[in-house]
Amino acid sequence: MTAMNDDIVIACVDLAGRAGASGVDIGYINAARWYAVATYRGARIIVDGHGSPTAAALALAERLLSRAKCRCTQPVTLSDARPGCRWRLVGRRWEPGCDAAPITVAAGGRGDLAAIERAMALVPPGGNRAARRKAKRRRP
């Protein structure tokens, strides 16, 4: 069995869940060919041909983050050399570089890319910072 980096695989599954996917599958065709699939309603995002489950999970996370828009409304970047909201893998979690509040997708929206896009369209430029501050104040 190919060795697996649990943190990277867990971070990928967590990220896909936060990105609205209804499921993630990581599997193999043979020992040298691993794939990872994020499932949305009526759509799948697939990476294939990786040498290990870790590599497939990392590739899927990068695929989900590339071309993604952060909840602060900036494009996500994984490089200091590129503009946007700088995301990093921190332990078992992909973390944004901003403190914008999470986007709420209407009930039933999980896995529904159109519902997720509608929710994103309602976010003001810079993200829901005011809502986040309010939520922090409410906590004891």
**List of residues contacting Zn ion (CB under 5 A):** 70, 72, 85, 96, 98
Alpha-carbon distance of 9 to 59, in angstroms, equals 10
Question: Among residues 83 and 108, whose Cβ is nearest to Zn ion?
Answer: 83
Per residue, the 3-state secondary structure of 48-116, as one string, reads EEECCHHHHHHHHHHHHHCCCECCCCCEEECCCCCCCEECEEECCEEECCCCCCCCCCCCCCCCCHHHH
Question: Among residues 3 and 121, whose Cβ is nearest to Zn ion?
Answer: 121
Question: Among residues 34 and 87, whose Cβ is nearest to Zn ion?
Answer: 87
CB of 139 to Zn ion, least distance (A): 21
Alpha-carbon distance of 125 to 75, in angstroms, equals 12
CB of 123 to Zn ion, least distance (A): 10
CB of 23 to Zn ion, least distance (A): 25
